[in-house]
Structure 1
Amino acid sequence: MQKIVTQTEMYALEHAAVAHGATWEGLMEQAGWGVAQVALARLGDPKGRRVVVLVGPGNNGGDGLVVARHVHDAGAQVALYFWRRQFAPSDANWQRCRTRGLAETMAADDPTQTSLRKLVAEADLVVDALLGMGTSRPVEGPLAAIIATLQPPRRPLVLAIDLPSGVDAGTGAAPGGAVCADLTVATGLPKRGLLLYPGRRLAGTLELAILELPHDYLETTMSDLLRAAEVQPLLPARPPDAHKGSFGKVLVLAGSLHFPGAAYLACAGAARVGAGLVTLAGGRAVLGSAMRLPEATLLPLAEGDWGAVGPGALAELNKALPNYQALVLGPGMGQGEATGEFLQRLLGLETPKSRVRVGFLIDSNSDEATENAAPDLPPTVLDADGLNLLAKIEEWHERLPRERFVFTPHPGEMRRLLGVEQLPADLVATACEAAKRWGQVVVLKGATTIIASPDGRNRIHDGANPALATAGTGDVLAGVIGGLLAQGLAPYDAASLGVFLHGAAAARVRATLGDAGALASDLLPELPRAMLELR
Structure 2
Amino acid sequence: MKVATAAEMSRIEKAADAGGLTYDQMMENAGRAVVDAMIARRDMKGRRVVVLCGPGNNGGDGLVVARHLHDLEARVSVYLWKRDTTDDHNFDAVMERKVPVARADEDSGFATLREWLDEADVVVDALLGTGLTRPIGGTLAELLGVVAEVVAGRDDPPWVVAVDIPTGVNSDTGHSDPATVPADLTVTFGLPKRGQFLFPGAADVGELVVDDIDIPAELSSDIELGVTTVQTVRDLLPPRPLDAHKGTFGSALIVAGSVNYTGAAYLAAAAATRVGTGLVTAALPGPVYPIVAARLTEATYLVLPHDMGVVAPDAVKVLREHIADYDAILIGCGLTQEQPAAEFLEEFLLHEPTEHRRRAHIGFVRPAAGEEEAGKQVQETTLPPVVIDADGLNNLAKIDGWWKNLRAEQAILTPHPGEMARLRGTEIAEVQADRIKAAREAAEEWGQVVVLKGAYSLIAAPDGRVTINPFAEPALATAGTGDVLAGAIVGMLAQGLTAYDAAVVGCYLHGLAGQLVGAELGSAGAVAGDLLLALPYAIQEVLSD
Query: Which whole-Å CA distance do the structure 2 matches of 1:208 and 1:369 have between them?
Result: 55
Contact 1:174/1:198 (8 A) holds in 2: yes
Query: Which whole-Å CA distance do the structure 1 matches of 2:312 and 2:413 have between them?
Result: 22
Deviates more, 1:368-377 or 1:125-134: 368-377
1:102-501 to 2 correspondence within 5 Å? 102-110=99-107, 112-151=109-148, 152-153=151-152, 154=154, 155-289=157-291, 293-304=296-307, 306-348=308-350, 350=352, 367-400=373-406, 404-421=410-427, 422=429, 423-501=431-509
* Coordinate RMSD, CA, aligned: 2.8
Query: Which whole-Å CA distance do the structure 2 matches of 1:139 and 1:400 have between them?
Result: 49
Q: Does 1:12 align with 2:11?
A: yes
Alignment match, 1:358: none
1:39-54 to 2 correspondence within 5 Å? 39=38, 44=43, 46=45, 49-54=47-52
CA distance change for structure 1 residues 349 and 369 in 2, over 3 Å: closer, same or farther?
closer
Q: What amino acid does structure 1 have at the position aligned with 2:118?
A: A
Query: Which whole-Å CA distance do the structure 2 matches of 1:534 and 1:22 have between them?
Result: 33
Q: What amino acid does structure 2 have at the position aligned with 1:415?
A: A
The structural deviation recorded for 1:101 is 4.9
The structural deviation recorded for 1:391 is 1.8
Alignment match, 1:359: none
What is the TM-score when the length of structure 1 is the normalising length?
0.88
CA distance change for structure 1 residues 325 and 139 in 2, over 3 Å: closer, same or farther?
same
- Cα-to-partner distance string for 1:107-147 (whole Å, 9 max, x where unaligned): 34447434322221122322111112122234344333322
Q: What amino acid does structure 1 have at the position aligned with 2:289?
A: L
Deviates more, 1:345-354 or 1:485-494: 345-354
Contact 1:221/1:456 (8 A) holds in 2: no
Deviates more, 1:90-99 or 1:232-241: 90-99
Contact 1:138/1:174 (8 A) holds in 2: no
Q: What amino acid does structure 2 have at the position aligned with 1:67?
A: V
Deviates more, 1:206-215 or 1:334-343: 206-215
The structural deviation recorded for 1:243 is 3.2
CA distance change for structure 1 residues 177 and 377 in 2, over 3 Å: closer, same or farther?
farther
> Which runs of no fewer than 5 residues in structure 1 stay unpaired?
355-363
Contact 2:161/2:183 (8 A) holds in 1: yes
CA distance change for structure 1 residues 339 and 238 in 2, over 3 Å: closer, same or farther?
same
Contact 1:325/1:379 (8 A) holds in 2: yes
Query: Which whole-Å CA distance do the structure 2 matches of 1:62 and 1:293 have between them?
Result: 59
Deviates more, 1:466-475 or 1:107-116: 107-116
Query: Which whole-Å CA distance do the structure 1 matches of 2:11 and 2:182 have between them?
Result: 28
- Cα-to-partner distance string for 1:173-201 (whole Å, 9 max, x where unaligned): 31434221121111222223223333333
Contact 2:253/2:281 (8 A) holds in 1: yes
- Cα-to-partner distance string for 1:34-67 (whole Å, 9 max, x where unaligned): 32444466663545x4332222222212212222
Query: Which whole-Å CA distance do the structure 1 matches of 2:4 and 2:533 have between them?
Result: 36
Q: What amino acid does structure 1 have at the position aligned with 2:31?
A: G
CA distance change for structure 1 residues 365 and 51 in 2, over 3 Å: closer, same or farther?
closer
Say which SS state the counterpart of residue 70 (structure 1) adopts: helix
The structural deviation recorded for 1:73 is 4.5
Alignment match, 1:361: none
Q: Does 1:57 align with 2:55?
A: yes
Query: Which whole-Å CA distance do the structure 2 matches of 1:73 and 1:207 have between them?
Result: 22
The structural deviation recorded for 1:424 is 4.4
Deviates more, 1:329-338 or 1:109-118: 109-118
1:505-520 to 2 correspondence within 5 Å? 505-520=513-528
Query: Which whole-Å CA distance do the structure 2 matches of 1:383 and 1:427 have between them?
Result: 18
Query: Which whole-Å CA distance do the structure 1 matches of 2:230 and 2:183 have between them?
Result: 26
CA distance change for structure 1 residues 88 and 502 in 2, over 3 Å: closer, same or farther?
closer
Contact 2:44/2:69 (8 A) holds in 1: no
Query: Which whole-Å CA distance do the structure 2 matches of 1:416 and 1:229 have between them?
Result: 35
> Which runs of no fewer than 5 residues in structure 2 stay unpaired?
357-369
Q: What amino acid does structure 2 have at the position aligned with 1:293?
A: L
Q: What amino acid does structure 2 have at the position aligned with 1:321?
A: I
What is the TM-score when the length of structure 2 is the normalising length?
0.87
Contact 1:255/1:332 (8 A) holds in 2: yes
CA distance change for structure 1 residues 122 and 213 in 2, over 3 Å: closer, same or farther?
same
Query: Which whole-Å CA distance do the structure 2 matches of 1:110 and 1:392 have between them?
Result: 63
Query: Which whole-Å CA distance do the structure 1 matches of 2:67 and 2:248 have between them?
Result: 62
Contact 2:317/2:375 (8 A) holds in 1: no
CA distance change for structure 1 residues 367 and 42 in 2, over 3 Å: closer, same or farther?
closer
Alignment match, 2:359: none
Contact 2:384/2:409 (8 A) holds in 1: no
Contact 1:58/1:134 (8 A) holds in 2: no
The structural deviation recorded for 1:439 is 1.7
The structural deviation recorded for 1:308 is 1.7
Query: Which whole-Å CA distance do the structure 2 matches of 1:212 and 1:352 have between them?
Result: 57
The structural deviation recorded for 1:292 is 5.5
The structural deviation recorded for 1:379 is 0.6
The structural deviation recorded for 1:17 is 0.4
- Cα-to-partner distance string for 1:59-80 (whole Å, 9 max, x where unaligned): 2122122223333444444433
Deviates more, 1:379-388 or 1:422-431: 422-431
Alignment match, 2:366: none
Query: Which whole-Å CA distance do the structure 2 matches of 1:69 and 1:245 have between them?
Result: 60
Contact 1:170/1:426 (8 A) holds in 2: no
The structural deviation recorded for 1:281 is 1.8
Query: Which whole-Å CA distance do the structure 1 matches of 2:432 and 2:93 have between them?
Result: 44
Query: Which whole-Å CA distance do the structure 1 matches of 2:141 and 2:306 have between them?
Result: 60
Q: What amino acid does structure 1 have at the position aligned with 2:143?
A: I
Contact 2:411/2:448 (8 A) holds in 1: yes
CA distance change for structure 1 residues 70 and 343 in 2, over 3 Å: closer, same or farther?
same
Deviates more, 1:131-140 or 1:219-228: 219-228
Of 527, 531, 535, which residue of structure 1 is paired with 2:535? Answer: 527
Contact 2:475/2:522 (8 A) holds in 1: yes
CA distance change for structure 1 residues 122 and 292 in 2, over 3 Å: closer, same or farther?
closer
CA distance change for structure 1 residues 365 and 37 in 2, over 3 Å: closer, same or farther?
closer
The structural deviation recorded for 1:309 is 1.7
Give the % identical residues: 48
Say which SS state the counterpart of residue 250 (structure 1) adopts: strand
